[in-house]
Amino acid sequence: MRAIHLLSSVDTFKSFIEKPNTKNDQILFQLLSSSSYDIEAHCRRKLRGRTYGAGGLDAEIKNGDGSDKLFTNEYPIISVTSLWDDTLLNYSDTYLKASTDYLVWKDEGIIQLRTDAVKGSSFNTGKGNLKLIYTAGYNHFEIITGINDKIDFNDGSAKVATLTGGVYTAESLGTNIASVMTTASSGTITCTYNYYTSKFNIVSTTGTFELNWQSGANASTSASRTLGYNGSVDEASSTSYESDYSVLGVPPDLEQACLELTLRRFEESRYGSNRFDLSSIQVQGQHAGTTNYRGGELPSAVKRILDKYKRGAS
C-alpha cells in the first residue's frame, strides 16, 4: 500500500530537479515517502492532515484527569467530529459531548470544556474514558471572499460559481466546488482530490464545459492558483480538468524541507550525480558502507525549517 501523507509530490519534485520524464516516478515516490516519514519522526508529530477515527486510523483514546482540558496527540486541529467522556468505555450517545460544550484551540491542540457545559465543565478521571474522532495536521486551503473565490466556466453559456469564504481541507473544498458549480450550471459537476498526485479534478457528468480562468469576467479573483490550475490560460472544452500542478495545503517551508531532503536521497542514489552535502563514504566488504554528511542527519537548511515544527518547539 502506498503512503498518501506525503509532504510534497512527484510532479513538484521533478520540477524542482528539472527532470520532467516519468521513467522513475515510482522511485521518486518512494524517496518522497521516506523523506516525509523521517521529517514526521524528527518532529515527533504527524504533519500532513489525517482523520483519526476514520479511514482505517484509530480514534484517539485518552485518560481523563479531572481537568477541563484535553491535549490532542496531533495538531493543528482542523475539526472535531465526536468527543466522548465515558468511564464505562461504551462511548454511547449518552456520554457524547455536544460541540457547543467545548472550545477548540486549533494551533495548540487543546480541547477545553466551557464553564457552562451541559454535561460538566471538567473531564472525568479515568483510564481510556475519553474518545476523540478528529482531523489534525496540515491540509489547509483558504478561500478569501473577493480574492480567490471565483470560478468562471462555460457549459453552453457563461457561468460563474462563487466559493464560500473559509478554511477548508482538500475534501471539503472539493465538496464546496462541486456544490456551487452545480448550482450555477445546467448540469452536474463533481470535484475530487487525489492524495497521490495532490491534484484536484473537476468533472462534468452531463457534458463538456470550459474553465475560463484567463478570459472570464472574474479572472482577477479566480481560485485557479489555489486549486493548482494555470490561471494564465483557459481550459479548452472537455468533461474533466485535473490541476496543472500539485497543491498540498501544507506550509510552503515544510514542503521545501521535504524537497531538500528528497534531493539528498536522490543524489545519493544511482540516478543522482551532485552529492551536494556529502562528506565521505566508507565501504568495507561488498555491501557494507557508511555515508557521512556535512549537515548530519538532516541537511542544515532542512533542520532550520523543521526546528519550529518539532513537538515542544516554542
Domain of residue 80 covers: 50-136
Residue 4 lies in a domain: no
- The confidence score (pLDDT) of residue 4 equals 78
End residue of a domain, out of 80, 106, 136: 136
Domain count for the chain, please give it. 3
The DSSP-derived string for 214-265 is TTSTTGGGBSHHHHT--TTSPEEEESEEE-SS---SS-HHHHHHHHHHHHHH
pLDDT tens-digit series, residues 107-151: 999 999 999 999 999 999 999 999 999 999 999 999 999 999 999
160 plus 129 within the same structural domain: no
Q: Please report the pLDDT score of residue 86 as a whole number.
A: 98
Q: Rounded to an integer, what distance in angstroms lies between the CA atom of residue 282 and that of residue 78?
A: 46
- Considering only residues 110 and 20, tell me which one the structure prediction assigns the higher pLDDT: 110
Tell whether the model's pLDDT for residue 1 goes beyond 70: no
Do 56 and 131 lie in a common domain?
yes
Residue 123 lies in a domain: yes
Where does a domain end: 136, 165, 188?
136
- Strand, coil or helix: what is 25? helix
Instruction: Give the residue with greater pLDDT, 2 vs 301.
Output: 301
Whether 159 and 216 share a structural domain: yes
What pLDDT digit, counting tens, does each position of 200-232 carry? 999 999 999 999 999 999 999 999 999 999 999
- Residue ending a domain, among 136, 151, 174, is 136
**Predicted TM-score (pTM) of this structure:** 0.86
Rounded percentage of the chain residues whose pLDDT exceeds 90? 83
Q: Which of 96, 146, 92 is nearest to 119 (CA)?
A: 96
Residues 83 and 176 in one domain: no
Q: What are the phi and psi torsion angles at 46 (to 5°)? A: -85, 125
Mean pLDDT value of segment 256-285:
72
